[in-house]
Structure 1
C-alpha cells in the first residue's frame, strides 16, 4: 500500500493508493497519518478495510500532496553513509554512523516550494531513503529486530546549506534545519512493498541535468543496522523519520558545480517509492 496525505498545508487528509490504482479516503479510520495511527496498528486496519471494500474512493486530481506523515516527533539523519559520497567530499568512511538531528518543522510536501535561506550561497541537494518508524524502537537486541519497527519508506530530500553546516558552526544542524529543508513523499510505501531496502536505486537531477545516481547497496551502514544503532542511544517512536544518507553527486562534492539558486528545479526518484519535484525560491 501507499499512504498519502493530501490538501492544503496543515489541513491534509489521509488517503491510500491501493493496488488497483484507485485512491481511497482513510478518514473513516483515522484523522491523520501520524504516530498514534502507526502505533495502534493503523496500517493493518487500512489493509483489512481495503480487502473488505469498506473505504470510499476519492478524486484527488489537482489536490496538493503533503508529506505522507504528519509532523514527525523527530527527524534523525545519518551523514557520510555512502562510500562514494564520503570520498567525493574528502571525508574518511566513518567507522560508526555519523548522526545529527533535523528540525521536524522542516518537513514539507514532495512538490512544495523550497526556500533558499537569506544569506545562503551554498544550498545543496541530497536524495535519501527515509525510514518511517511504526513501532517503538528502544534498545533493540540486534539489527534483525529492526524490521518489526518499520512502518514503511519514503523519498527524502535532505536539503543542506553547506556554509551554515560546515563553515559557521562545528555542528551540522544549522545547515540542515532551515524552513522547508526536508521535502518528504509522495508516499509512505508500507514495508511489505519494499522487501529489500538494501538494493534501491536513487536518482536526482537539477534543471534536467543528472547529478546523483546511486544505490542503497552502497550504504556503509544498512537500514537494520542504523535502527539498531540509534536505538542504543535514543528511543525511536512511531512517526519518527530516519534519513539514511545520500550517494555521490552533491554540489559540495562536484567542484565547479553551481549550488541551487531561485528558479532551479530539482527532481528525485527512488525505485518503488515514486518521485518528487521542487522549485527553489528565495526566502
Structure 2
C-alpha cells in the first residue's frame, strides 16, 4: 500500500510544481493548490480504507511519515492564503511589521509544542505506539481539541502535529522570503553588468537549485562570504529564470528518501565518463 501512496504523493508534488510555475498570483496559486491537495488526500484515504495496514509498524509509518506529507501541504497553502488575504495595504514598514508578527505566531506554536518538537526532530520512536496508532490517545498528552472532532479511523493523536511542524518550516521560509523582497525594494535596484553571451538554463529548476546550494555550501563565491540570496539573484539574472521559493524546494530535496544530491551525482558520473574517454576533446 505504501508504494501506491508514494505514487499519489509523487503525482501531487508534480502538480504543485506545475502550479507554482504557471500561476504568479499567490492567492490564486493557493486556491488551486488546495484544490489538488484535497483530491490527493481523498485518494490516499480510499487506499487506506480499501487496503488497511498489515502491521502496527506499517500503521505507524503511515501516520508518522506519509500522511503528514499530504496534510502539511494543505496547512501550508491554507495559512499562506490567509496571510495574503489579510495582508494590509501600506508601505514597506507596515508590511515588514505584518510579516514579522506572522513569524512570531510560528514561534509561539513552537514554544507551545516544544516537547513533541524535540521528540520528532530527534528521530525518537519510543512513544510512537501512543502517538501514531489509532485509538491510542492519552488525555495526559495535552491533546488539541480538534483531535476529538476528526475521523478516528484516519487520524491519530499526533499525525497532525507532525504535519504542522513540516508546514511551519515552509511558512517560515515563505515569510522570510517576503521580508527579503521588501528589503531589496528598500535598497533599490542595483545595476548589473550583463554578460556578452546569453546562456539559457535548459535543465530543471530543481537541478539548478541543488547546484546553487552545493556551490554556496562549498563557499566558492567571494571566498565563502556570498549570501545564498545573492547567489540566487545572480543565477536568476544570468539565466533569466525565476527560481521561485527555492528554500522550499531545498526542503523537498533534503526530504528525498534516496539520492538526495541526484543532480550533483549525475554531474560527477558524467564528468568521470568524459575523463575516461582518451579521445575526448579538452
TM bucket, shorter chain: under 0.3
Higher Rg of the two aligned structures:
2
State the TM-score, normalized to the length of structure 2.
Answer: 0.24
Q: Which has the higher contact order (CA 8 A, sep 6+)?
A: 1
1 or 2, which has the higher helix percentage?
2
1 or 2, which has the higher strand percentage?
1
